[in-house]
Amino acid sequence: MPKTSPVVRPIALAGALALLVAGCGPRARPLVGAPAPAVLPRAELPAGRQRYDFRWEYEDGDLLVRGDGVARTAAPDSVRLDFFLDGGMGGGYALLLGQELIVPGGDQVRRLLPPPPLLWASLGRLAVPPASDTIARVDAGTLRADIGRDPTWRASFDGQRLARLERIVDGRVAEWLVRDPDRVRYLHTTSRRALTLTKLRVQPAAEFDATIWDH
């Protein structure tokens, strides 16, 4: 895993992030379809190093901000994400090293991002807390699996591709992330915070400067 040395870099994001009154997320529907062995596809980062270029848009109440972004991954479990606001108004970055999310810039920056399992899912990697109880069913060619209990992580696969991940608490969907070929959409159902990544371009990378892992 890349090194993590203590360097702090500030971030500037326009406006204050609105705090909404928490409500109840939608009820999670029971799994449907034929029972299947609890053997899930190997949803991992591509081998070696990859660079992802994307557009991003963040919504939080009346706040709407957008810009460009870059994700640089190093298999098996390291990624740096850089976000740049349109108009040169600032930017910030985050490191996800295993299950540790490092976000210099304070709570306002962290609020932009899903928790580690859902952030990993945005890159196609299934990395939920280990659990002994997993139930899987196949319906119309889609494999769905409930992993763990309260929270339950519901993973949906389109063939070998991780297509959706939900966090279910007390029988309700607290947050979810959906992956389409050209778009990733995250929603926190109670606060209605949403992050959308579009126009994803992926290309292999030879090496990254070691300083990108500093924080």
pLDDT interval class at 23 (50, 70, 90): low
Task: State pLDDT tens for residues 149-196.
Answer: 999 999 999 999 999 999 999 999 999 999 998 999 999 999 989 999
Q: Which of 202, 198, 127 is nearest to 162 (CA)?
A: 127
212 within some domain: no
16 within some domain: no
Looking at the DSSP assignment, which residues form a beta bridge with residue 173?
A: 168
C-alpha pair distances (Å), 164 with each of 123, 143, 195: 11, 11, 15
User: For position 76, which CATH number holds?
Assistant: 2.50.20
Q: Which of 178, 84, 70, 82 is nearest to 124 (CA)?
A: 178
156 within some domain: yes
10 within some domain: no
151 within some domain: yes
Report whether pLDDT(22) > 60. no
Q: Residue 132's domain spans which residues?
A: 34-205
pLDDT interval class at 106 (50, 70, 90): low
Query: What is the pTM assigned to this prediction?
Result: 0.86
Give the CA angle between residues 57, 13, 123 to the nearest 5°: 40
Domain count, the chain: 1
175 within some domain: yes
178 within some domain: yes
